[in-house]
Amino acid sequence: MHLVDQFVTRREQVATAGLSYLAREYPPVREVLGALSAVDPADRDRLLYRPEAVAADAQGRPDIVGERGGERWVVVEGKFWAKLTDAQPCGYLRGVSEGGVVLFLCPSSRIEPLCTELAERVRQEGLGFDEFTPDGTGLQVMTTSGRRHLVVASWPVLLRRIRAAAAGDFPQLDFEVDQLEGLVGRLEKELVEWSRAELEQGVTRGTFRKAVTTAELLFDGMDRDARTTRTGNPKWVDRNGVHFRARYAVGGLHLYVGYEPEKWSPDFPTPLTFGIWSPDVPQELKQPLHRAYSGLAARIWAASDFPGPGFTPAHEGATWWWGPIPVAADRPADETRARLTQGLDELLGTLDALR
């Protein structure tokens, strides 16, 4: 059960719960959220906010809902790196009143890809064809059918708006916003940035959580890539100390990305590994695939910030071909993500060319 506890990123839930609390307690927060919708300005302070709301005639379970007189005007969904659910955003949009707003809060580095994904879902569901437009203050805004607004913003942008609306007249609110800013700041950083010390020390409770979430970035890239198809159970499984989230087919080849804590050490400073289940490989492709795979794994490891044992490929007849995915140390979040994305693209390109 201790593994289950460490896989759960409860602080993400704490962030949205904290915002829900602020909306219930402080008029400036209600003003900021209500102003994103077309609700009568006189009614912004009268909206009642509640967390994880479910209505019989609405889809999904939004993190926060602001409503009045049975009408849902504001829906807030906090996203760090979790994927969109089936109800997002279209089920939420259908559940708000005409002129209502659905607000997604996410890390600044996720805004662009999240807007792309949300816009595509809106178009597929026939709820609108507009693009997201920046409003000049950090918000990305799209108007969908029924004058319902879809807005994407980073947590810092929203919290700055709240602080400006309070104008120093609510000292306790300023203190609460400070606390929430600290929380979401740590969440954004911990999800994608690694210090050298963390990579060298191996598994602790904090690094375990971060390793899982970093792996989720790769899974998200796998899910989005047109060259892959996810197969099997999408939940985390443990196979002899190697934790896998899902299996992906690239043509007839099966690729795994996972977390292997037993190998994580100062001499092997990466929590992430990938592998191919070689019995799935057609006999005529085994030799060229193994050669390409071995070269790719060696190049990925050579790009690591750490000296180490490198990569020693298993022999061609092995049942499992395995390699490390080094994580950048002491680098900005955008660079860490870019390096992971580049490595994944090269890996998939190699496999796709040999299928």
Closest CA to 76 of 39, 111, 37: 37
Res 298 pLDDT > 80: no
Res 8 pLDDT > 60: no
pLDDT of residue 309: 58
Using CA atoms, how far apart are residues 326 and 47, in angstroms rounded to an integer? 48
Centre a 10 Å sphere on the Cβ of residue 95 and count the other Cβ atoms it contains. Answer: 21
DSSP codes of every residue in 26-60: -HHHHHHHHTTS-S-GGGGGG-EEEES---TTS-S
pLDDT of residue 158: 96
pLDDT of residue 91: 94
Average the pLDDT over 184-212 and give the result: 80
Q: What percent of the chain has pLDDT over 70?
A: 87
More confident residue, 39 or 215: 39
Tokens found for residue 172: 């306790």
pLDDT of residue 189: 67
Average the pLDDT over 47-53 and give the result: 84
Average the pLDDT over 304-315 and give the result: 69
More confident residue, 332 or 101: 101
Per-chain mean pLDDT for the chain: 82
Kindly state the DSSP code that residue 243 receives in the 8-state scheme. Answer: E
pLDDT bracket for residue 7 (50, 70, 90): very low
Instruction: Name the one residue in this structure whose structure tokens are 């992430």.
Output: 272
pLDDT bracket for residue 239 (50, 70, 90): confident
Res 57 pLDDT > 60: no
pLDDT of residue 226: 86
DSSP codes of every residue in 2-22: HHHHHH--HHHHHHHHHHHHH
| 118 and 87 Cβ atoms separated by less than 8 Å | no
**Beta partners for 338?**
none
Using CA atoms, how far apart are residues 281 and 171, in angstroms rounded to an integer? 64
SS3 state of residue 285: helix
Kindly state the DSSP code that residue 166 receives in the 8-state scheme. Answer: H
Average the pLDDT over 285-304 and give the result: 74
- In degrees rounded to 5, what are phi and psi of residue 265? -160, 175
Res 15 pLDDT > 90: no
pLDDT bracket for residue 109 (50, 70, 90): confident
Helix (H) or strand (E) holding 306: none
- In degrees rounded to 5, what are phi and psi of residue 68? -150, 130
More confident residue, 190 or 339: 339
More confident residue, 191 or 151: 151
The model's pTM is 0.62
pLDDT of residue 177: 94
Centre a 10 Å sphere on the Cβ of residue 206 and count the other Cβ atoms it contains. Answer: 12
Res 225 pLDDT > 80: yes
Candidate from 85-94, 105-114, 186-195 with smallest mean pLDDT? 186-195
DSSP codes of every residue in 60-125: S--SEEEEETTEEEEEEEE-SSPPPPTTTTHHHHHHSPTT-EEEEEE-GGGHHHHHHHHHHHHHHT
pLDDT of residue 333: 72
Average the pLDDT over 51-59 and give the result: 58
| 12 and 216 Cβ atoms separated by less than 8 Å | no
Kindly state the DSSP code that residue 265 receives in the 8-state scheme. Answer: B
Average the pLDDT over 301-321 and give the result: 72
Using CA atoms, how far apart are residues 345 and 56, in angstroms rounded to an integer? 43
| 92 and 75 Cβ atoms separated by less than 8 Å | yes
Tokens found for residue 224: 């989005």
Per DSSP bridges, beta strands 101-106 and 71-78 are parallel
Average the pLDDT over 98-109 and give the result: 92
Using CA atoms, how far apart are residues 189 and 187, in angstroms rounded to an integer? 5
pLDDT bracket for residue 160 (50, 70, 90): very high
Closest CA to 218 of 347, 355, 77, 78: 347
Res 354 pLDDT > 80: no
pLDDT bracket for residue 174 (50, 70, 90): very high
| 300 and 323 Cβ atoms separated by less than 8 Å | yes
